[in-house]
Structure 1
Amino acid sequence: MIISNQQDNEMEHLNKRIQTVAVLGAGAVGCYLIAGLAPKLGENLWIIAEGSRKERLKKEGLTINDRQLSLCVKTPQEAKGADLLIVAVKYGSLEGSLDAIEQIVDDETIVMSVMNGVDSEEIIGHRIGMQHMMYSMIKIASERTGHCVRFNPEVTEGVYFGEADGSLSWRVAAIENLFNDSGVRFHISEDILKKIWAKYALNISMNLPQAIIGCGLGGYRDSAYVMDISTKLKDEVVAVALAVGIDIREEKAASFDGRTVSPKARFSTLQDLDAKRHTEVDMFSGVLVRLGKQLGIPTPYNALALDIIKALEEKNDGRFDYQ
């Protein structure tokens, strides 16, 4: 019987277990995973940081849902060879994190990028090799205030992950085993690329209109104009997705899966503007506009959203203020 290299690799790693996990990015998303994995992994959960930030995290830890959590903090060099690396940085920090990612990864390291957007796996994989990448996304409503992160574990859907080809590989089994009996909710997806693009459409259509207008979630319910902007932004994502071979037309436009969400809820882009931080609009409309140009798909609503939010960032930076 002839066994392919892929089958041979699967057999070799059949009982592989993930024993060490490195997390790069301890913001709102990273904190959910840190809080969920810390009780199970203890000192084998490594938070990646360098310099003064490393010293601060070692001294102060993290405050998650009003609970202080002590951390095992390592530099990228110290974390070399982690079984799993979870990348949860802001999109604007990704390019600057590639050196650290490369230092952590060895031949056997699995890498999951739980960042929003549709291109972080390719950006990371271009540096370290796509064979390391496990496609993933996360659904969580969280909020960062200063050094404190809060989320409601009861309504958090958690991490979705899977191989790009839908196979139930040894890597999928190893991550499933890791998340079992932890505080991380997870879902194995045999169509993870569609899931990622559907969430991308949801983020663009629900994050950006409220950020531009400065309103809570209730604005979509109360204003036909807000909802119309949302719909047109999403339609452009659907068109670009189709052009790259991913059909999300039947995906729900804006579902909160029955959860009760306050009409005052403010998603991440508006949270960033409120706190005078730069947003991730480059990852949202910025990437979509670029893909649209490459594919010949018009994206005028996303182009306008990009310009408006970039202008709001400049205003927050003090570049102009003529009130």
Structure 2
Amino acid sequence: MIGTNTRIVIAGAGSIGCYAGGCLALAGRSVRFLCRPQIEAMLRTGGLRVTDLDSRDARLDAAELSATTDPAEALAEAGVILVTVKSGATDEMARLIAVHAPADAVVVSLQNGVDNVGRLQSLLGGRQVLAGMVPFNVVQASEPDGLHVHRATEGTVLIEDRVPGLAELLDVEGFAVETHGAMPGVLWGKLLLNLNNALVALSDLPLAAQLADRRWRVILARQIEEALAVLKAASIVPGRIGGLRPALLPTVLRLPDWLFRLVARRMLMVDPQARSSMWEDLERGRPTEIDEFQGKILRLARDTGTRAPLTARLERLVREAEATGTGSPQLSPEAVLDEEAARRI
């Protein structure tokens, strides 16, 4: 039975995980963080500061937090497990859950990409695994007195409607949660927006500045058009994004800057310093999730005999930046495109 006293484990306490867990703990939920040693050290010594676009600024002292690097300790009494690791760590986390978590624990994937629920299910046998989608961006920073996580965009977390009481457990201030009856479409719709992560990473621009520049939006529009053609060939229907039909996104993105600011006000409600998780991965020398975004579209394109040349170029540029290991290459829109395509922007 899911109740407000159910133990929630944040399985992979990075930026999203610490923000979600912080909001839940501030609301009085029983939360345990399974994290890397660096994050555990910051939480144990200085606590956790949680801020957001709505001017919330709250703090949890170290004594109010339960954080560990030991999966057996973290997962032993789990009732709900929120999986927030990057896609590349999904299989490893699934194996830890299979060994250490109670058989009746509910597992919720709050990860990017469209394949993680299936991967978790395949490795967790008969355990209950639900899809979820986090629409907002979280910025992480270390401070002298602990860890600071800041929600830099808006949105409501969506989860599958299969476990009574789960949404009520998770729906707290700063971390709004609702159920949705068609999560596969939601995940594909989110993937279309996540195609922009590569542009932020390659440009080194904050998200707000990048979206305010029509040259970058046109590149995103072209990526989305390629992706929509691939999805149509694969008989996949993406869900609406912020109330907007995916087919309309390229048109909206191509609007002149002044008109885009009027029409897409919600899209531009972004903290001025927010960037993408892919940018953060490049800056920290970590593998990105390019394989779950552009890579997923390219695999479908090969399977369906569909062309996606711009998507392929962006994937290649990100992989080159990963291999270099020096952070964002700080490319211009013209450098991202070939010379002929750049003249058409």
Secondary structure at the residue paired with 2:118? helix
Please give the secondary structure, in 2, of the residue aligned with 1:273: helix
SS in 2 for 1:245: coil
Aligned Cα root-mean-square deviation (Å):
3.1
- 1:251-270 matches, within 5 Å, as 251=246, 253=249, 257=266, 260-261=269-270, 265-270=274-279
**Does the C-alpha gap of structure 1 residues 94 and 149 become closer, same or farther in structure 2, counting only changes over 3 Å?**
farther
Corresponding residue for residue 194 of structure 1: 185
2:97 alignment partner in structure 1: 101
- Deviation per CA, 1:19-60, whole angstroms, max 9, x where unpaired? 111111111111121111113445x31112477875665445
Counterpart mapping for 1:100-249 below 5 A: 100-129=96-125, 132-146=128-142, 148-152=147-151, 156-162=154-160, 168-169=161-162, 171=163, 173-181=164-172, 183-204=174-195, 206-217=196-207, 218-224=209-215, 226-242=216-232, 243-248=234-239
Structure 1 stretches of 5 or more lacking a match? 1-14, 163-167, 319-323
User: CA 1:188 to 1:275, structure 2 compared with 1: closer, same or farther past 3 Å?
Assistant: same
Q: Are 1:20 and 2:7 an aligned pair?
A: yes
Q: Quote the offset at 1:118 in angstroms.
A: 0.8
Give, as a single letter, the amino acid of the residue that structure 2 aligns with 1:89. V
Partner secondary structure for residue 205 of structure 2: coil
CA drift of 1:61 comes to: 4.0
Q: Does the 8 Å contact 2:171/2:178 carry over to 1?
A: no
How far off is 1:131 after superposition? Answer: 5.1
Question: Is residue 71 of structure 2 the alignment partner of residue 76 of structure 1?
Answer: yes
Match of 2:31 among 41, 45, 58: 45
Residues 66-87 of structure 1: CA distance to partner in whole angstroms, max 9, x if unpaired? 7354321353223235111000
Q: CA deviation at 1:133?
A: 1.2
Q: Deviations over 1:188-246 (max 9, x none)?
A: 21222211111110011x2122322333333343343x222211211233233331432
Q: 1:61 to 1:96 in 2, by over 3 A?
A: farther
Q: Would the aligned equivalents of 1:23 and 1:47 in 2 still touch at CA under 8 Å?
A: yes
Provide the C-alpha distance between the structure 1 equivalents of 2:39 and 2:111, rounded to a whole number of angstroms. 21
1:88 Cα offset (Å): 0.4
Aligned partner letter, 1:230: L
Q: Secondary structure at the match of 2:97?
A: helix
Amino acid at match of 2:185: K
Shift in CA distance, 183/143, structure 1 to aligned 2, threshold 3 Å: closer
The AA in structure 2 aligned to 1:37 is L
In structure 2, what residue type is equivalent to 1:229? I
State the Cα distance separating 1:312 from its structure 2 match. Answer: 0.8
Taking the aligned partners of 2:201 and 2:39, their CA distance within structure 1 comes to: 30
Conserved 8 A contact 1:61-1:69:
yes
